[in-house]
């Protein structure tokens, strides 16, 4: 662990290397009292975790790999999707400072045009009908220029802009935004947050190609519900609703 820079608005744990910042922060919270919004950031993960049991590739010292802890006991378990919304909005808003064409691919990937720049993995601990703890793990491709894993469409901020952005600078800007969004959530502004999320969506307009268990189809996004379901309207005007993993975007 190293001392933390004072420009960051949250308690920071800097790690040279760990297996996974999600695993690290989760175990730390199991062992001791960790302040809300504490953020563990690593220069390298030797076993980074992605969605659907995948691994997360990131070259040493190139990217931003971090996890944040929330104790959102004021959020009902069935409304947990709002955490995905504030985390993804904080990142998208900050990336917008650098250039256009960033969007949020439902439920919580960040895309630039048709390529993925950031993945988010949120693990919630539920107690009764509330969320007692939530750990949001975020991987943003910043300065990596070659991707070796079979991830289909990665891109980094450097590839997009040509700029060398220091990962910890970006982290501190994102955490300022995340803190603000979290305060809005505590103040009961979930509907406003949902509207921002809807407006930031990848493919928010127009007919696009998707596939589900019945095959491929053309559809447009109608809305994302508070519980996180994606509602599509197909070519025949029929609304179809999907939970995470039940529909694929064909790119």
Q: Does 13 bind ligand BTN (CB under 6 A)?
A: no
**Near ligand BTN in 142-181, by CB under 6 A:** none
Smallest distance, ligand BTN to C-beta of residue 65, A: 4
Q: Smallest distance, Å, CB 54 to ligand BTN?
A: 5
Q: Which of residues 39-58 bind ligand BTN (CB under 6 A)?
A: 45, 48-51, 54, 56
Q: How far is the CB of 145 from ligand BTN (least distance, A)?
A: 18
Would you tell me how many other CB atoms lie within 10 Å of the CB of residue 44?
16
Which of 68, 104, 112, 137 binds ligand BTN (CB under 6 A)? It is: 137
Map residues 72-111 to x or -, x wherever contact with ligand BTN holds by CB under 6 A: -------------------------------------x--
**Residue 121 contacts ligand BTN per CB under 6 A:** yes
CA dist list (Å): 160 to 56, 62, 93, 155: 20, 15, 16, 7
Nearer to ligand BTN, 202 or 217 (CB): 202
Q: For residue 11, with 0-12 CB atoms within 10 Å meaning exposed, 13-18 middle and 19 or more buried, which class applies? A: middle
> CB of residue 177 vs ligand BTN: minimum separation in angstroms?
18
Nearer to ligand BTN by Cβ, of 169 and 233: the residue is 169
Question: Where along the sequence are the contacts to ligand BTN (CB under 6 A)?
Answer: 20-22, 45, 48-51, 54, 56, 65-67, 109, 119-121, 137-139
């Amino acid at each position: 662990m190293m001392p933390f820079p004072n420009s960051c608005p949250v308690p920071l744990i800097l790690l040279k290397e760990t297996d996974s910042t999600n695993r690290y922060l989760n175990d730390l919270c199991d062992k001791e009292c960790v302040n809300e919004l504490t953020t563990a950031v690593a220069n390298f993960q030797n076993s980074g975790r992605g969605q659907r049991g995948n691994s997360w590739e990131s070259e040493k010292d190139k990217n931003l790999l971090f996890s944040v802890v929330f104790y959102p006991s004021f959020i009902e378990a069935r409304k947990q999707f709002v955490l995905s919304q504030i985390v993804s909005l904080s990142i998208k808003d900050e990336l917008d400072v650098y250039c256009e064409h960033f969007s949020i691919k439902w439920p919580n990937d960040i895309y630039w045009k048709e390529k993925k720049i950031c993945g988010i993995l949120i693990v919630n601990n539920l107690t009764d009908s509330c969320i007692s703890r939530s750990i949001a793990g975020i991987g943003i491709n910043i300065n990596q220029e070659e991707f070796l894993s079979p991830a289909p469409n990665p891109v980094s901020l450097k590839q997009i802009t040509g700029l060398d952005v220091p990962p910890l600078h970006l982290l501190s800007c994102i955490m300022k935004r995340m803190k603000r969004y979290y305060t809005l959530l505590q103040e009961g502004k979930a509907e406003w947050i949902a509207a921002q999320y809807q407006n930031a969506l990848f493919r928010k307009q127009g007919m696009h190609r998707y596939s589900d268990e019945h095959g491929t189809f053309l559809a447009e996004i109608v809305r994302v519900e508070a519980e996180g379901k994606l509602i599509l309207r197909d070519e025949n005007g029929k609304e179809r609703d999907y939970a995470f993993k039940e529909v694929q975007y064909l790119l």
